[in-house]
Amino acid sequence: MDRISSAGLELANLLLTSPPLHQSWDAIQKQKLHTAADPNAQMALYISETKHSNTTIISFLTSPVKVQDPQAMISSTTLKDTNFLLFEFLCSKKTPSFSVNELTINFFALNHTNLDLLRTKVCTVISNNFFQFLSILLLLNQTFSSL
């Protein structure tokens, strides 16, 4: 039990002192400073890329939104009927239907094109650098399994 506890503390220390964590935090803070909130914008999405020597941090910032009804939910059946299938992966045999907050659905509907372009870009970068990506994963796996 002591070994597991010790490994957990070492892992926590490693994660909390890791450069990507600090780089991510810095990118989010910079984005907050440089992005002026437009009071007329409805659910605006601001995407920022911060490049470092060996990483690129992609941060997201949304405009403040006043929620009319925080409990408003949309069922997966309604989403399917309107051909909005982004959340279809949440269905399973055990959970054939679900509900999602209406504001979340509206946000994704308004920003789907930008998010899809970003996903394509990230997937392209990963596939172009697959062996580098794989070596990083293997290194992380070796690091964490040795704790």
What integer pLDDT is reported at residue 10 of this predicted model? 79
Please report which helix (H) or strand (E) contains residue 3, including its range: helix 2-16
Q: Token pair 């679900």 is at which residue? A: 98
Q: Is the whole model's pTM more than 0.85, yes or no?
A: no
Is a pLDDT exceeding 90 seen at residue 51? Answer: no
Q: Cα–Cα distances in Å, from 14 out to 5, 9, 70, 113, 137?
A: 14, 9, 38, 36, 16
CA distance linking residue 83 with residue 81, whole number of Å: 5
Residue 75: beta bridge partners?
99
Please report which helix (H) or strand (E) contains residue 95, including its range: none
Give the pLDDT band (50/70/90) at residue 146. very low
Residue of higher predicted confidence among 107 and 142: 107
Residue 49 and residue 58 in contact, taking contact as beta carbons nearer than 8 Å: yes
